[in-house]
Amino acid sequence: MACHEAASRWTCHVRHYHQVRKVIMSNKQTRSDVILIGAGVMSATLGTLLKELVPNWKITVFEKLASAGEESSNEWNNAGTGHAALCELNYTEEKADGSIDIGKAIKINEQFQVSRQFWSYLVNKKQIRNPQDFIMPLPHMSMVQGEKNVAFLRKRFEAMAANPLFQGMEFSDDPDKLMEWIPLIMQGRTSQEPIAATKIDSGTDVNFGALTRLLFDHLKSKKVEMKFKHSVDNLKRTDDGSWELKVRNLDTGTVERHTAKFVFIGGGGGSLPLLQKSGIPEGKNIGGFPVSGLFMVCRNPEVVEQHHAKVYGKAPVGAPPMSVPHLDTRFIDNKKSLLFGPFAGFSPKFLKTGSMFDLIGSVKANNLGTMLAAGAKNMSLTKYLIQQVMLSKEKRMEELRQFIPNAKSEDWDLLVAGQRVQVIKDTDAGGKGTLQFGTEVVSDAEGTIAALLGASPGASTAVSVMLELIKKCFPQHMKAWEPKLKEMIPSYGVPLLKHPDLIRQIHTSTSQSLGLNRELHPAM
């Protein structure tokens, strides 16, 4: 017995020795040119761009989950599936004089055209083999009910149809035409309330989870090191201006030290805590407000087959912009799906896989006033989110029946989507504690570190957002990189709106490269 106990103690001592030795060994510094934190679509896009521009740079990616594209970019978590401002009514504001401001829609559409060009480049270079794995042609539609909303939609259509970016958009308030366009929505509709819709056939459905995985598969073939189940716990600036990261291997618990000249924090909602840990002045006085989302998913294939479009409605008064209701055809795992939502909710987590202490942990001395001001300003939003959380399935079905009058409860299940963390900051226009709806990059003055914050339109504009980041953080290289950038994105540096012929040329060439000319649904 004594021998057995002695042997056990010896085994424990040996195991402890190896564990300590492993930690010591892992503390040696591993140097990269670029470190990407988070294996989502933004990191995938930035890594792919940089590998094209400077193939010899060493890039390392850290992701705390077991694979790429599992948080905000995942196809079941991501509400943004091809935002091109073709159908999203919150991108076209009605001004006090009754006119429609389509400026935001123009900007987002131009950004999506940049994404299409870059994806086409990757397909043409055989870096993505089959574009159908991530992008499919799909009509985009807007639908409204009531005289006032119909009048708004007509004015919106007139403003947009005259613009070359939105060429091909149609408007109808004819029930027979609408039955042809959206039979599932029109069947069983007994209300005499006016109804109208716009339709444009050049829309797409983009599976950003699939795209993320395709991009990282390509990066791995280019010797980019992917470290899954690795959590970046801390980071600090070194004396030579580089960044040192403390990275924990979640499988073994060991700590690794990694340094890089440039760090991108693209961890979705997890970006804000790391930005705060960086200590850069630009990251101060910024907070985050998490909003969760829920979707209804149709489980009846017969119902799914009756609808073929993304149909967006108008958001309820007081609802955040990401809560615009839509009935959404999706292509996931090469299978057609139908989703309705999103229903907003609240969770203090900054990531779907995050901690219940994320929100309170993000409140610091430098952003406390900003966060308190935001809370006071957004009481109506808080009330709306609480009401949304309390909705029963039947109440959600009632909202769905505004779109599909004949919807049956047994055909639909509830799906929890990803977390969105809206940026809170002090602005000249909104004052202290302004809640921002959009995507923004925060970087230091020297361009050594950048963090992506915010939400929609997010993934759809990833290429434009990352190009702006590259321009801001690598200004010394831009002259040398410009020819390659123009090869990848022919419209680079050109305002599309001033060049209608270029718009048509880009639309034709990218449609061909991405296989968007195929007819998926002849009845439509």
Is the per-residue pLDDT at 326 higher than 70? yes
**Residues 117/174, Cβ–Cβ less than 8 Å:** no
Rounded mean pLDDT of 245-273?
A: 94
Contacts 24+ apart (CB under 8 A), 469-478: 469/46, 469/264, 469/441, 469/443, 470/46, 470/49, 470/50, 470/53, 472/441, 472/443, 472/447, 473/262, 473/443, 473/447, 473/448, 474/262, 474/447, 475/447, 477/53, 477/54
Is the per-residue pLDDT at 31 higher than 90? yes
Range scoring the smallest mean pLDDT among 3-17, 64-78, 115-129, 225-239:
3-17
**Contact partners, residue 436, CB within 8 Å, separation at least 6:** 422, 423, 424, 425, 427, 454
* CB-neighbour burial class of residue 389 (10 A; exposed 0-12, middle 13-18, buried 19+): middle
**Residues 215/43, Cβ–Cβ less than 8 Å:** no
Calpha distance 16→97 (Å, rounded): 74
Is the per-residue pLDDT at 14 higher than 50? no
Rounded mean pLDDT of 127-143?
A: 96
Is the per-residue pLDDT at 26 higher than 80? no
Of residues 130 and 21, which shows the higher confidence score?
130
The pLDDT value recorded for residue 320 is 61
Rounded mean pLDDT of 171-195?
A: 94
Is the per-residue pLDDT at 274 higher than 90? yes
The pLDDT value recorded for residue 419 is 84
**Residues 418/249, Cβ–Cβ less than 8 Å:** no
**Residues 356/415, Cβ–Cβ less than 8 Å:** no
Is the per-residue pLDDT at 472 higher than 50? yes
The model's confidence at residue 407, banded by pLDDT at 50, 70 and 90, is very high
Rounded mean pLDDT of 234-245?
A: 95
Is the per-residue pLDDT at 18 higher than 80? no
pLDDT tens readout for residues 196-222: 999 999 999 999 999 999 999 999 999
Calpha distance 166→322 (Å, rounded): 22
Of residues 430 and 488, which shows the higher confidence score?
488
The percentage of residues in the chain with a pLDDT greater than 90, rounded to a whole number, is 69
The pLDDT value recorded for residue 152 is 96
Is the per-residue pLDDT at 244 higher than 70? yes
Rounded (5°) CA angle 477-479-481: 65
Q: 3-class DSSP state for residue 466? A: helix
* CB-neighbour burial class of residue 21 (10 A; exposed 0-12, middle 13-18, buried 19+): exposed
User: The pTM is what?
Assistant: 0.90
Tokens of 54: 């400077």
Range scoring the smallest mean pLDDT among 76-80, 159-163, 180-184:
76-80
Is the per-residue pLDDT at 21 higher than 80? no
CB neighbours of residue 4 within 10 Å: 8
The pLDDT value recorded for residue 3 is 46
Tokens of 373: 């001001």
Range scoring the smallest mean pLDDT among 71-75, 261-265, 506-510:
71-75
The model's confidence at residue 322, banded by pLDDT at 50, 70 and 90, is low
Report CA-CA distances (Å) from 186 to 139, 143, 208, 305, 306. Answer: 17, 11, 30, 15, 11
Calpha distance 456→464 (Å, rounded): 14
**Residues 407/401, Cβ–Cβ less than 8 Å:** yes
Is the per-residue pLDDT at 456 higher than 60? yes
Is the per-residue pLDDT at 269 higher than 90? no
Rounded mean pLDDT of 441-452?
A: 95
Chain centroid, CA 86 distance in Å: 17
Rounded mean pLDDT of 321-345?
A: 86
Is the per-residue pLDDT at 24 higher than 50? no
What single DSSP character describes residue 164?
A: G
Calpha distance 438→107 (Å, rounded): 13
The pLDDT value recorded for residue 6 is 47
Is the per-residue pLDDT at 308 higher than 70? yes
Q: 3-class DSSP state for residue 346? A: coil
Question: Which of 31-40, 71-80, 360-369, 457-466 has the highest mean predicted lDDT (pLDDT)?
Answer: 31-40
